[in-house]
Structure formats: C-alpha cells, structure tokens
Copies of this chain bind each other. A is one copy, B any other.
Amino acid sequence: MSKTELLASTVVLLAISAAAASGLTGEASPIYGVRVPEGYREWRLITVSHEAGKNNDIRAVLGNDIATNAFREGTRPFPDGTIIARLAYVYESSPENDKVFPAPQSFVAGDPTNVQFSVKDSKKYADTGGWGYGQFENGVANPSEPLIKSCFACHMKLDPSTDYVFSHYSP
C-alpha cells in the first residue's frame, strides 16, 4: 500500500467512525431502527396533501402492497408488514406554468425535503400502537431522538379508528 493509498484509507475510516459516532450512518432511524425500504419510489399512490405553516411542503403518500390493499379495502388496524411512505417537497409557485395559465395559480413540488416511513409491526412496536417511524434526508436517517419521538406523540392523538394514520385513500 502506497502512502497515498494509506492516507486515503485512513480518511475513509475516520469518516465512517465520525458518521457512526454522530448517528449519521444513513441506515436506521433512532429508537425504531427503521431503514429506507428498497424500491419504495415504485410503490403505489395513496394520496396527496399540502401542509402549510412551518413545513410549507407538498406531499405524496405511497404504500407498499400490504399498505395499498389495506387502504383500498379499509382494513384497520393495518396488518403487520404495512409500510407507508410520505414524500415531502418544497411547496412553491410555478412562474413557468403561470405564464401559460389564465392567472397565477400553479403550485408545484420543488426540491425534496424529507421522506418519512411508518412501519407496522404490532409486536416490535407494541409500545407505540404497533408503529415504528423513520425520517430520511437524502437517504440519510435523521439522528434526532426528540424528532423521532414526536412522530407517535402526534399520531397517537388521532381517532383510534384511524389506527394512528393521517392519510385516507384517494381513488
């Protein structure tokens, strides 16, 4: 191994150690250990929404097969294996579209902000209604424990008939 190669390897190892120490491994969410599900961007559409206020984003909710079938059939609680993906983008007006439309009225998805996953496992996540959560920015798990704790703290306020899920299926 040359000096250059040795230096390069050391830099890589230090970077990995630093990432591991900071929790920024890009792999699993804190507390729940939720990872980015492979191929989630190919999943089917559940619904769309806009959250104004601090987040000011526009969203798509996708579901894996188990989630999609449960949404379509109204199965509650959601079966184990359900994964719901919430993709959020900067909410922005589109001057490009508004030039063509009769009035300024077009709002579109800008850069992605984050992707959140809700994973149903009634045994593993028994303490949080059967749900585990993760939030990812550019594929990297957000390492904040307070952030991840806020997921169920908010979802648990929903009517129990929803099984702690905000989204309704849009046909």
Interface residues of A (CB under 8 A from B): 41-42, 44-45, 47-53, 55, 58-60, 62, 87, 89, 91, 94, 96-97, 99-103, 105-109, 112, 154, 157-159, 166, 168, 170-171
B103 touches A53 (CB 8 A): yes
Instruction: Give this chain's copy count.
Output: 2
B48 touches A60 (CB 8 A): yes
Residues of chain B contacted by A87 (CB below 8 angstroms):
45, 170
A48 touches B89 (CB 8 A): yes
Residues of chain B contacted by A159 (CB below 8 angstroms):
96
Compute how far the CA of A171 lies from the CA of B42 in the bound complex, rounded to whole angstroms: 11
B158 touches A107 (CB 8 A): no
Starting from the known contacts A48-B58, A60-B170, A112-B170, 9 additional A-B residue pairs (CB-CB under 8 Å) come to A48-B48, A48-B59, A49-B58, A49-B106, A49-B107, A52-B105, A100-B154, A109-B170, A112-B171
Q: Which one, B52, B62, B101, B106, contacts A45 given CB within 8 A? A: B62
